[in-house]
Every structure is written in structure tokens, then in C-alpha cells.
Structure 1
Amino acid sequence: MNEKTLSILKPDVIKRNIIGKVISYIEQSGLKIITQKKMLLTKKQAELFYEVHKERPFFPDLVEFMTSGSVIVQALSGENAVSKYRTIMGATDPKQADKGTIRGDLADNIDANCVHGSDSIENAKKEIAFFFAEYELIDTE
């Protein structure tokens, strides 16, 4: 089934200048980037986006990290995009991520783990709408 999912290339990717490397994993998987933009999240935006984690002990550090530099937000499209991208990302902790995944090959640690991806079709819809207007989501193929 053709789906859309959200991808965020986190500040560590931009700071380390490995944007192209991360994108190559996405493109080689067969997923298509239908739109993307570079932005600097405000504290309020990061808190709203990660609100589901508000009560977790890592929440303040997550917000601080996600606002520490630019991010690239992307809407991806493809067959089973949500699960496919989660597989490509690898485990949250790079030490547990398989080689051949973004986190297994490129991430430094559990905090600077390169990417965010939606964890369900429902969340993908919400997360994409958080960053993109409907007119930005034209998938011409």
C-alpha cells in the first residue's frame, strides 16, 4: 500500500554535513522524497511536536537537542513507507541498530541518532500536517 511518512534529519546530521549520506539510504530503499525543507525549530514547536513524550525524563534534553541547530523535515512516499522507513532508520540506540541502517552506520549515540520517523500511519498524517500544508504534498508519480 502506498503511504506517506515523515522524516526529520536531526541537527547532528546537518552539523556533521552528512545530509547526502542519509538521503542516499532513503532513495536506495525506493522511498521518494516528495517535499522537504530546512528549518530551525523553536522551543515551542519542538515541545508541541514531541508532546507525546512530555512526561518522559528525556523530554527536556530532546527539546534542547532538536532546537540546537537546523533540521530537514521531509515527507516520504512509497509502498509501506512507515514501516520501510523505520527499518531503514534502525533501532533508536545506534549500539543496537543493524549495520546497513542510518543509525547503525551513521549515528553517534542515542541522543544524536540522526533521524526521526513516524511510528504509525496515523502519526505520520499528524506529523506531516505539523510541518507541511496540503499543497506542498504533491506526489506527481
Structure 2
Amino acid sequence: MPAERTLILLKPDCVQRRLMGQVISRLEDKGLNLIAMKMLKVTSALAKEHYAEHVQKPFFPALEKFITASPIVAIVVEGLEAIKVVRDMLGATSGLKAAAGTIRGDYSSSRQMNLVHASDGPEASAREIGLYFKADELHAYVPTLTPWFKADDE
């Protein structure tokens, strides 16, 4: 099965609460490869492009204000079923509804300030990675530990 890629954004609340290291550690502990990472400030234009399907919705102004309020960390991870694995690790959108043991369940108590964004499917992943990274900023590699994370036939 080929590796899959997904975009993860450590949102302003994650950065401000200094939870970046905990989130990154959990991704690495799961065996996902971080193949790109950078800190940036989301502009209003980027927010509108990223959340294009929500721009006309009544909650968008608050979302835009939140996502542009502080730097974020954009990450691309690669691994088997990475999209589903990451979304399962994050938990439900609302931290109040997310199961204990998930990132949101352990660290969030809000629907909007839920620490982390992750792409919800292959098409969204490809589109979102392209918003935050150029092709030459992605650095795929095979860790020497790979044989210890999965069987050869997986």
C-alpha cells in the first residue's frame, strides 16, 4: 500500500498554548513521517483560499479573525492511511466531544479553538498542501526505523 500525504495545521491556539511539541511528538510516535514543516502567518487572502467553501457562511469572519491572529505551523506528514490516521488521532471537531486520548480530547474544550486542522480526504489534502508548500519544500524519506513500524507486506 503506498504512503499517503496529508496537511496538518497547528492553529494559533496550539502555537500560543505551546502545544506544538506535544502534537508533533504524537505524530512521530505514531510512525508518520514529517516531510515538510514551516511557521507562517496566515493572511486574509490565504484564509479565504483555504476555507473557500465557508467564505459566505455567517461564521467565516470569526474563523478568519482566529486563523490570522497568530502564527501557525504547517506540516505535511506521510504514512500508510495518513489522512484517516491523523483525523482519528485528532478526534471530534469539538474538544468537548472528542474522546480522551485524542489530541483534541486531551487538550481542547472548544469547537473553533480545537488546536489542529487536518485535510479530510485525498483531494483536499493535495489542494491544501499546494496552498502551503511548493513541491521542492516536500522532502520524502524512508526512516531507518520503518521495518519496525509495519510488516514488509503492508
TM-score, normalised via structure 2 length: 0.88
Pairwise CA RMSD of aligned residues?
Answer: 1.0
Partner of residue 60, structure 2:
59
Partner of residue 83, structure 2:
82
Partner of residue 68, structure 1:
69
1:119 paired with 2:138, answer: no
* Aligned-residue offset at 1:64: 0.6
Cα distance per residue 1:31-68 (max 9 Å; x no partner) = 11111000011111111111111232221111110000
Unaligned ranges ≥5, structure 2:
143-154
Q: Secondary structure at the match of 1:94?
A: coil
Partner of residue 14, structure 2:
13
Partner of residue 23, structure 2:
22
Q: Which amino acid aligns with 2:12?
A: P
Larger radius of gyration: 2
Q: Which amino acid aligns with 1:93?
A: S
Identity fraction in percent = 38
User: Is residue 94–residue 109 contact of structure 2 (8 Å, CA) maintained in 1?
Assistant: no
Q: Secondary structure at the match of 1:111?
A: coil
Say how many residue pairs are matched: 141
User: Is residue 91–residue 98 contact of structure 1 (8 Å, CA) maintained in 2?
Assistant: yes
1:45 paired with 2:46, answer: yes
User: Is residue 36–residue 73 contact of structure 1 (8 Å, CA) maintained in 2?
Assistant: yes
CA distance in 2, matches of 1:29, 1:53: 31
